[in-house]
Structures are given as structure tokens and as C-alpha cells.
């Protein structure tokens, strides 16, 4: 299970987003806190789950406060990926009362968003019940948040599709239309990229499946096909390519798809439709 933000890319993304979010919220100063709270006062905040969740983003929560005041300390008995019951204390944060009040909303926004994705993903993973199929996300992410949101997908137990346009070939319908067809698209891209890079192509009917197999695609994405078509496509492909199902996938048809013989199920809703979970922070006592 993913437990921390360790990659340089994730750390840099988190730092950039935190800085931007705090500037957006704090602006020229917190009129309420700056005029109400003594700068020498310290406090303790307790963060509570208001519903059952899979927690994700504890490190980022801490980083928000240390961005404001490096002396603020976060303590938790949980790690990203843990299940937390409604009403349980997720963590405590201790330090300057001004820092706690200034950073509260921004820190919770990160925690609620990432935990919301992880919680949604886990609900899909639980339905799959260890079936031999990979659940992956898509590029349907919040602009600027992709690295973090895909991290949350992994925390929830899912896997990542390509991170961006730069790290995987995926020939989609508009590429096919612009380049003259499936065989032409695959032939042209194979002559351009390294032999180490796999070629994935999106098809929407059985004729497209046949053409993709004959052209030597490594991965064939079955886009918006019904379950009957998918089973026929799997039979046609016959193990000659990795099979991915995508489009109109919900919890209602997830297990049926998993039993159809596909290798990968990609679901844009894991990120684009995840809601923020309900988490709150209460100051327990000034010290």
C-alpha cells in the first residue's frame, strides 16, 4: 500500500499547489485571525472523520501547516490507505494557534479531496474481490492535480493508466480519423517510436478489433462496447493483445466486465466523479 509522498514529482507538485492554495485563501492576511488571536498563543487541533473513509493525503495536510509555520507538528496513528470509521480521530496538529486557524481550510481541502478519491476507488476494488483484472484511472483529472489524484487512486488500491501524453502511446478515435485508419495509424507509430514502447489503440466495434489485431497492436481498448461485444472481442483477440474495457463503466456492471476476460478496466469516474469526503478539524484546547 502506498504510504507516503516519496517521488520528487509528487513533492514538487504538492509544494506548488499548497503555495498557490494558501495565496488564494490568505491573500494579504487573515483579517479575522490576525486581529483576534495573540501571536504567542499555541493550540491543538483534532481532525475527525465525519463518515467512513479511506484516508489519503496525511503528508500534504502536514505540509500545509509547515508551509505556514515549520514548528507545527502533526501526529497520527494512521497512514495513507487505512480505513477510518465515522467519528474516529484521524490526527492531531499542534503549534501556533494562528497557523492552525490560517491553514485549517486549505489543509482539509487537500485531505478531503484525496481521501474522497481513495474512498471511491476502494469501493470499486472491493467489488472486484481480487478478480484477475486491473482497475485503472484515466487522464480525466483536475488540472494541476493529476500527480496527487493518481497517487490517491493507488492509495485506494487501483492502478494508474498513463500519466500524460508523454509516457504512453494511445491511438484514439480522432487520431485514427486524422491518420487514415487503424492499420495506417499503428504502422506509422511503430516506425516512429522505440521498440520498447507498447502501442495501444482505441476501437469501438468488432471490425476495429480485427483490424487492430492484424496490425499488431499491443493493447486494444474496447470503447463503449456492451458486454456481448466485449466477450466477442476477447475471443477475437485470443490473447494476442492486452484487452482494456473503457466507457460507461459503473459499479453495476463492474463485476460482469471483470468476468468477461478483459485484462484492464479503466474508469474515468475514479477521479472526475469522486466527491470530497466529510472531515472536520476542531481546536481542542489552547495551550
Q: State the catalytic residues.
A: 105, 140, 172, 202, 223
Indicate the pairing of strand 89-96 with strand 169-171. Answer: unpaired
* 3-state SS, residue 166: coil
**Residue 136, C-alpha cell as written in the block:** 485503472
In degrees rounded to 5, what are phi and psi of residue 253? Answer: -110, 5
DSSP string, 194-234: -TTS-EEEEE-SHHHHHHHHHHT-SEEEEES--HHHHHHHH
Give strand pairing partners of 170.
200
Give CA–CA dist 167/214, Å, rounded.
25
What CA–CA distances, in Å, run from 241 to 125, 168, 202, 262? 24, 16, 13, 10
Amino acid at each position: 500500500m502506498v504510504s507516503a509522498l516519496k517521488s520528487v514529482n509528487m513533492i514538487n507538485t504538492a509544494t506548488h499547489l499548497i503555495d498557490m492554495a494558501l495565496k488564494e485563501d490568505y491573500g494579504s492576511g487573515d483579517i479575522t485571525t490576525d486581529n483576534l488571536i495573540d501571536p504567542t498563543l499555541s493550540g491543538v487541533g483534532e481532525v475527525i472523520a465525519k463518515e467512513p473513509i479511506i484516508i489519503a493525503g496525511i503528508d500534504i495536510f502536514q505540509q500545509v501547516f509547515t508551509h505556514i509555520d515549520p514548528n507545527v507538528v502533526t501526529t497520527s496513528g494512521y497512514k495513507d490507505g487505512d480505513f477510518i470509521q465515522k467519528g474516529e480521530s484521524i490526527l492531531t496538529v499542534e503549534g501556533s494557534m494562528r497557523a492552525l486557524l490560517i491553514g485549517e481550510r486549505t489543509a482539509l481541502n487537500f485531505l478531503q479531496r484525496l481521501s474522497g478519491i481513495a474512498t471511491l476507488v476502494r469501493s470499486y476494488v472491493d467489488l472486484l474481490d481480487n478478480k484477475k483484472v486491473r482497475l485503472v484511472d484515466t487522464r480525466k483529472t483536475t488540472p494541476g492535480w493529476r500527480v496527487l489524484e493518481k497517487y490517491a487512486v493507488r492509495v485506494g488500491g487501483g492502478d494508474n493508466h498513463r500519466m500524460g501524453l508523454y509516457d504512453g502511446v494511445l491511438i484514439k478515435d480522432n487520431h485514427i480519423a486524422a491518420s487514415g485508419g487503424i492499420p495506417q495509424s499503428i504502422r506509422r507509430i511503430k516506425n516512429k517510436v522505440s521498440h520498447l514502447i507498447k502501442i495501444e489503440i482505441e476501437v469501438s466495434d468488432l471490425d476495429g478489433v480485427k483490424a487492430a489485431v492484424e496490425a499488431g497492436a499491443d493493447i486494444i481498448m474496447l470503447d463503449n462496447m456492451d458486454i456481448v461485444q466485449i466477450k466477442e472481442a476477447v475471443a477475437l483477440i485470443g490473447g494476442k493483445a492486452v484487452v482494456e474495457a473503457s466507457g460507461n463503466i459503473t459499479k453495476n456492471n463492474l463485476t460482469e466486465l471483470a468476468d468477461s476476460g478483459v485484462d484492464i478496466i479503466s474508469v474515468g469516474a475514479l477521479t472526475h466523479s469522486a466527491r470530497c469526503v466529510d472531515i472536520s478539524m476542531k481546536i481542542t484546547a489552547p495551550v
